[in-house]
Homo-oligomer: A and B are copies of this chain.
């Protein structure tokens, strides 16, 4: 396959991953959104952090992160402590309830994935994980060099071709 065909196919496959993500989301408890799970999982993995760092890890705007964090805090899944170094910030930390929630989600995810991927080899699953992590890293690097709305963002953002706009 030529490189350009590869890119088109990759873009298509990335789009269809959304369906898989929706399937996984259906497994969650009613008041637990997918966003909550990702957020809490990041807190478990990286430990205490500020809002801005969390937004960066999630690759979403801080305003959105703020709402997700408030949602989780209201349910006791995370704690917010004042940051002694900067009183504008609060340090976010996974709570025991949050840990328990992650445990329950893990059980559901694992059962579903075990059922759907039972004919996958460990190597294949591992390779997919590695490549997805690398994909995200490559895009993250690219995004870091070219802020979204900047007019000078030439690396990732193609110049706009003429369109039959409407």
Contacts and interface: CB of A to CB of B under 8 A. Distances in A.
Nearest to A146: B115
Interface in A100-130: 100-101, 104, 106-117, 119-120, 122, 124-129
A152 interface: no
Interface residues of A, number: 84
Contacts of A156: 23, 112, 115-116
Contact of A128 (B104, B126, B131): B131
Contacts of A31: 165-166
Interface SS of chain A: helix
A19 B75 contact: no
Interface in A21-53: 21-24, 26-27, 29-31, 34, 37-38, 41
B4 A106 contact: yes
A141 interface: yes
Given A4-B106, A19-B136, A104-B163, A12 B24 contact: no
A100 B164 contact: yes
Interface of A: 1, 3-24, 26-27, 29-31, 34, 37-38, 41, 58-60, 75, 97, 100-101, 104, 106-117, 119-120, 122, 124-129, 131-136, 138-143, 148, 155-158, 160-161, 163-166
